[in-house]
Amino acid sequence: MSENAEYFGDPHRVALARRSADLWELLKDNPRFSYYGRPVGLCDPRDDAATILAAMARVQGAGVSQFFPTTEADGLFAELQGEGLTTDRHEQFLGGQEALRASQALLARRPLPSDLEIVAIDANTSRDLVARVAELCQSCDVSPVPGAAMRGVTRPGVCLAALDRKGEPVATGASFMSHHPASPRAAHAFWGMLATRSDRRGEGIALLLGAMAIDHMWRNHGARAFITGVRAGNASSRALCEKLAVLPTQWIYAWCMDPRSFGEQPVTK
Ligand SMILES: CC(C)(COP(=O)(O)OP(=O)(O)OC[C@H]1O[C@@H](n2cnc3c(N)ncnc32)[C@H](O)[C@@H]1OP(=O)(O)O)[C@@H](O)C(=O)NCCC(=O)NCCS
């Protein structure tokens, strides 16, 4: 792997991202798994979900299952915590054709603030701008994907940044194809990584970036569904998703972490 690879965050986060990239090399031919730069995920949980999540957490540092039934979350988490692992959850939201309609309608009626320009990060984008977009994400408590993923090299997709007149990124949003072509979820794209600098919130910027990403992925990459994780209680994120018809489901993103990978002691019962 190139020493020039662009990873972000503290050393534990960088190590996690490197392990995820390596694990994906091993698992990318298996349709049960998905990847777009964050930890490799299980995308069709079955009876073995706890076993797989625990293994992913120990190997990678963190494991996640998308499409995990909300009603089974407590049992799963109890089992994983019994193994000395920690758990977390995001509610899974999903949008389809209605999300495309809502996005296109919004783009037709709502202009971008006049001081901003939108750029799509690609292979030619400067390392400096990619790093500043990652910093923006971190300042909003959003995990940035590695540079190769932002640039659309890791998976087909798009990462957009709204730049002000000084060329500073004030908001970002992304969407990437993340599943194996043989997966029943092959046309589901990850959508999100939305972050707006605190002094530019409420101007409709994230809504526009989110809508542009949906429109782009539908037209250019065959995306027909958009999934994202929203933390319960994140009212602004939830409202934004709902405006674009990306709606709550009966699934969660079920997370499992090995505390030792983050320099912490294992959890004891
Ligand atoms: C979520 C976030 C990206 C929204 O960015 P933003 O540019 O301020 O969002 P917008 O101005 O485009 O708002 C979009 C819609 O969300 C809703 N909204 C925005 N802020 C809100 C708030 N504080 N409470 C309730 N609804 C809110 C509104 O319905 C708004 O639509 P409207 O302008 O038509 O009323 C921003 O708050 C942020 O960076 N938060 C921290 C990171 C985060 O939580 N990201 C999402 C991860 S899933």
Q: How far is the CA of 263 from the centre of ligand 1 (A)?
A: 33
Render pLDDT for 138-176 as a digit per residue (tens, 0 to 9). Answer: 999 999 999 999 999 999 999 999 999 999 999 999 999
Nearest-angstrom CA–CA distance, 134 and 107: 25
Domain ranges across the chain: 11-262
Q: Which of 236, 244, 247 to mutate to test the pocket of ligand 1 (most atoms within 8 A of CB)?
A: 236
Q: Which of 140, 240, 244 to mutate to test the pocket of ligand 1 (most atoms within 8 A of CB)?
A: 240
Ligand 1 and 230: CB distance under 6 A:
yes
Render pLDDT for 55-81 as a digit per residue (tens, 0 to 9). Answer: 999 999 999 999 999 999 999 999 999
Tens digit of pLDDT at every position of the chain (269 positions): 566 899 999 999 999 999 999 999 999 999 999 999 999 999 999 999 999 999 999 999 999 999 999 999 999 999 999 999 999 999 999 999 999 999 999 999 999 999 999 999 999 999 999 999 999 999 999 999 999 999 999 999 999 999 999 999 999 999 999 999 999 999 999 999 999 999 999 999 999 999 999 999 999 999 999 999 999 999 999 999 999 999 999 999 999 999 998 887 666 54
Closest atom of ligand 1 relative to the 173 alpha carbon: 3
Q: Which of 178, 218, 213, 222 is nearest to 194 (CA)?
A: 213
Q: Which of 129, 125, 109, 139 is nearest to 207 (CA)?
A: 109
Q: Domain 11-262 maps to which CATH number in 3.10.450.750, 3.40.190.80, 1.10.645.10, 3.40.630.30?
A: 3.40.630.30
Nearest-angstrom CA–CA distance, 195 and 144: 10
